[in-house]
Amino acid sequence: MDKLKNFIDTNREAFEDDLLPEGHFERFEQKLAAPRKSRATLYSLCAFAAAACIALLFLFKMPGGTPLPQQKPVASQPHKCQMKEEIEELRLYYNMQMNEIISQMQAMYKQQRIPGSEELLKETKRVLTDNYMFEETVLPTLPCSNDALYAMNQHYSTSLESLNIMLEQMEKMETNKKVNQK
């Protein structure tokens, strides 16, 4: 290090010259590597690839899409039977609840025959058809686990909520008819 410092001190005039040899910048640019793509372009390409992968995953998961290979359940036979019983009990419970609401709606329709209530009864048939399709197509594919019970609760509680809303609408129509008749 001391030798380098001594060399610089003795040749100070050569180092103080600000001008570089002619063509220095051109030769330096030729030695540089080709410019790389900007990081923003690379990030956007990665984001596009990730979005495409997610879209394909949703495509496979949607009904009618290409099915993904299924893993065989590892559950033991007694546990599987117990879950099937719970699933069946849950299905019966919700069906009883829905049938009770529909019978209330039918009784109200027979008593009053309020305009618009017939359309509500037709919608109840659509809800029942959706539940039948769920029981025939989706329910057999669900694993015998708590996930199946959760999916059933979600589906049936939505159907039950829809029927309750229809019943409330029919009750409002009945009260409005009574108010208008007075």
pLDDT at 79: 45
Q: What's the confidence (pLDDT) of residue 35?
A: 63
Q: What is the pLDDT of residue 71?
A: 57
What percentage of residues in the chain have a pLDDT greater than 90? 0
pLDDT of residue 81: 46
- Residue 17: its pLDDT value, please? 64
Please identify every stretch of the chain with a pLDDT value under 50, giving residue numbers as ranges.
75-81
Nearest partner of 86 among 135, 155, 157, 144, judged by Cα: 144
CA atoms 33, 37, 38, 42: torsion sign: negative
Q: Where are the domains of the chain?
A: 77-181
Q: Which two tokens stand for residue 144?
A: 């015998």
Q: Give, in order, the Cα–Cα distances in Å from 137 to each of 131, 168, 172.
A: 10, 30, 36
Q: Which helix H or strand E contains 79, and what residues bound it?
A: helix 77-112
**Model confidence, pTM:** 0.49
